Structure formats: structure tokens, C-alpha cells
């Protein structure tokens, strides 16, 4: 009887490497695929060549075949173009969300199935429960749970996906990597823009969008400084404002796109930094249909945030309306509002 063929997206990091090893140990026929999605070969901030070398070294240890596939065109058309449009409109997008839905679980999934694979696997910290309806669940390690970034996955995508690390803690994954002698066992976790990597953000963004400096003012109209371009700032931002003086630290509270002005306030707990409710559009539900919004639920308005109890309903414009039991800090348009019921991720949308 032939073994089930699983294609693992291998990035060169420890998580996807351990995911591939675990599946190999479980008896699957494993193939690794390294996704190249950014054609900036001379860019020191996009070390794709070193990552691929790390993948090859890992593959040699665990005994799997690996190939590289270039999805740069798909990434630029489906993800990066959206990323730029959102910043130009004054919003703060989350490219990882769209990258997962369009590249890792669409372009990559299609490619893997064309190889004859039955499923794909990644090193994401999340869980999927397969059945008549696939359910997306939080990872056991709540400090690493990545279901927030996966809420746009649909039933077809989830039914063809495995998350081998969903039941493990990050410390356990690191320990496994060291025990089996993976050459990247101590490699630091990747950060930065999905597939583009770590880089000076302002320098990168102004390569693609025009810079329009303007004034910073308080809600009362007092001029307190100059901003370098509204696209460089996000709601709740403290660092990089360049405002000195006495008193509490300054935070970005709003953007006036018409006047090209940045509205700033003093103090982390300033009332203008809190919102009791929000609307979200461009909705995506994991089950493929609108869930029962009358039942109790919680939501995240950004990744590094604890769940907040809320009431959910659809408004007359077809948007998701969330009302929180406690006002939420720095709710930001362009980010995702993701709805949970217990351990299950139901879906969500883009904050408008």
C-alpha cells in the first residue's frame, strides 16, 4: 500500500523543519518545497538564498527530497499590490493574512496537488479538525497560536492541510530540533513582512509610494511636530514620533487623510485610543457560511492581543459589527478582526 504523500512548505526555519520530520516519523511520504516569493536577489534584508541552503541541510538530515518553486509573480499580484493600496489609503494592512490565503494555501496548495500530493503541511501553530466540516482551532501553545493569520482559509484549503505543530509548545519544537541534530535548531524566528523579511520599513515603503510629509497636531488643533508621511504610522504607535517635552509619551490616535495630518495624544490610556465597537468588511467564515452570531464569542483586533468578549451582529451594510464588553485599545483600520468561540476560530474580516 502506497504511503500518503504530503508536501511540506519548508522555509528554512525550525518550525517547518520539525513539521517535516514529524510527518516523516509518522510514515508519510514527505516532499519539501521552498517557496521563493520575492525577486530582490541583491537585497540584504531578504536572505532567501541562505534560507534555501538551510532547507537543503535540513532535508539531508531528515531524508526528504526538496525543490524550490517561485511564486513571485503571484505574490506581487495577489498580496503586494494590495499591501501598497492599503498603505496609500492610510490603512495598516496585515500582509500575512492575505499571504496565507493566496500564496501558502492557494498557489502552493495547487502546486502540491499537481505533484500528486494528498495534503500540504506547514509549520504554523494552529490545529485543524477534519470532518464533514473542517474546523480551525487554536494551537495548544497560546503564546504562539497563529490561527489569527489563518482565518481566511476555506473548507477546501483546510481539508487539504495538516498542522503538525498545533499540539506542541515552541519549547518542545526547539527541543526536538536539537535532539535530532537539525542544523537550524538555534535559528531565530523570522519576523518582518511576509516573504520580504526584516528591513527598514520607511526606506522600503518609499521605494514604492510617494512620500507626503505634513503636520502632527493634537485633537484640539495644537501643532506639535511634523510627520514624514501618513503611511509610515499606525494607530497606537509610540516610537518614531520625534515629540519631546514633559508629560506622558505621545501616541498616534488618528489620521486625517483629507488634510494630511497626524492626530496624536499623550498617555497610553487616552480616551481617543479606545473603541467600544467596530465594523469589519470583506468577511470570510471558515465554515463557508455565516455562523450563529447570537451565541457568545470573543474577538482579536490584532495578533499580539488577548481575546476580548464581544457581541457580534451583521449591520445593514452587510458588515460585521462587534460591540466589546470593554473598549479596545488602538483598533486600526486595515487590520483583521478575528472572531472565536472558545478554541474555534470562526472567521472575521478587515476593520473599516
* CATH class of the domain whose range is 210-268: mainly beta
Per the listing, cell 489563518 goes with 150
Per-residue pLDDT, 1: 40
Sheet with 223-227: strands ordered across: 223-227, 214-217, 261-266, 250-256
Minimal CA–CA distance to 126: which of 94, 92, 166?
166
d(CA 27, CA 298): 38
pLDDT per 10-residue tile (average), the chain, 352 residues: 86 96 97 86 61 94 96 92 92 92 96 97 98 97 97 98 98 97 90 56 84 96 96 94 89 97 97 98 97 94 93 96 97 97 98 96
CATH 2.40.30.10 in the chain, residues?
273-351
Quick: pLDDT tens for 237-248. 999 999 978 889
Residue with cell 525543490: 67
DSSP codes, 189-253: PP-SBTTTBS--HHHHHTTTS----EEEE-TT--EEEEES-GGG--TT--TT----SSSSPEEEE
Q: In the CATH hierarchy, which top-level class contains the domain 273-351? A: mainly beta
Instruction: Locate CATH 3.40.50.620 in the chain.
Output: 5-179
99 catalytic, yes or no?
A: yes
CA distance 94 to 152: 12
Superfamily of domain 5-179: HUPs (3.40.50.620)
Whole-number average pLDDT of the chain: 93
Please give the helix or strand (H or E) that residue 344 lies within, else none. Answer: strand 344-351
Q: What is the pLDDT of residue 198?
A: 55
| Residue in 46, 194, 297, 310 annotated catalytic | 194
Please say if 310 is a catalytic residue. Answer: no
344 within 8 A of 136, measured Cβ to Cβ: yes
188 forms beta bridges with: none
- Span 201-246, pLDDT tens digits: 778 888 889 899 999 999 999 999 999 999 999 999 999 999 978 8
Beta strands 336-341 and 344-351, pairing class = antiparallel
pLDDT at 269: 97
CA–CA distances in Å: residue 87 to residues 9, 35, 223, 227: 29, 25, 24, 15
Provide the 3-class DSSP secondary structure of residue 147: helix
Domain with CATH 2.30.30.280 in the chain: 210-268
Amino acid at each position: 500500500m502506497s504511503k500518503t504523500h504530503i508536501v511540506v512548505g519548508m522555509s528554512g526555519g525550525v518550525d517547518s523543519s520539525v513539521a517535516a520530520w514529524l510527518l516523516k516519523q509518522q510514515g508519510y511520504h514527505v516532499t519539501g518545497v521552498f517557496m521563493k516569493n520575492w525577486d530582490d536577489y541583491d537585497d540584504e534584508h531578504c536572505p532567501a538564498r541562505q534560507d534555501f541552503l538551510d532547507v537543503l541541510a535540513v532535508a539531508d538530515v531528515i531524508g526528504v527530497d526538496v525543490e524550490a518553486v517561485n511564486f513571485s509573480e503571484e505574490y506581487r499580484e495577489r498580496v503586494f499590490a494590495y499591501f501598497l493600496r492599503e498603505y496609500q489609503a492610510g490603512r495598516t494592512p496585515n500582509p500575512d493574512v492575505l499571504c496565507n490565503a493566496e500564496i501558502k494555501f492557494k498557489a502552493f496548495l495547487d502546486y502540491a496537488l499537481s505533484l500528486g500530493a494528498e495534503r500540504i503541511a506547514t509549520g504554523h501553530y494552529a490545529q485543524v479538525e477534519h470532518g464533514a466540516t473542517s474546523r480551525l482551532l487554536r494551537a495548544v501553545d497560546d503564546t504562539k497560536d497563529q490561527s489569527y493569520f489563518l482565518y481566511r482559509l476555506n473548507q477546501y484549503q483546510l481539508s487539504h492541510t495538516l498542522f503538525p505543530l498545533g499540539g506542541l509548545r515552541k519549547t518542545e519544537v526547539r527541543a526536538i530540533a536539537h535532539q535530532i541534530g537539525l542544523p537550524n535548531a538555534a535559528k531565530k524566528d523570522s519576523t518582518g513582512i511576509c516573504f520580504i523579511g526584516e528591513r527598514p520599513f520607511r526606506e522600503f515603503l518609499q521605494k514604492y509610494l510617494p512620500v507626503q510629509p505634513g503636520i502632527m497636531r493634537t485633537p484640539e488643533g495644537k501643532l506639535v511636530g511634523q510627520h514624514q508621511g501618513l503611511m509610515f504610522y499606525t494607530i497606537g504607535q509610540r516610537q518614531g514620533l520625534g515629540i519631546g517635552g514633559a508629560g506622558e509619551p505621545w501616541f498616534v490616535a488618528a489620521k486625517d487623510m483629507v488634510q494630511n495630518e497626524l492626530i496624536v495624544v499623550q498617555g497610553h490610556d487616552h480616551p481617543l485610543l479606545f473603541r467600544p465597537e467596530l465594523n469589519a468588511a470583506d468577511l470570510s467564515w471558515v465554515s463557508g457560511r455565516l455562523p450563529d452570531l447570537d451565541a457568545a464569542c470573543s474577538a482579536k483586533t490584532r495578533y499580539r492581543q488577548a481575546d476580548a468578549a464581544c457581541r457580534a451582529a451583521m449591520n445593514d451594510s452587510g458588515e460585521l459589527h462587534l460591540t466589546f464588553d470593554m473598549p479596545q485599545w488602538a483598533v486600526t483600520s486595515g487590520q483583521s478582526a478575528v472572531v472565536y468561540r472558545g478554541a474555534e476560530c470562526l472567521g472575521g474580516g478587515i476593520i473599516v
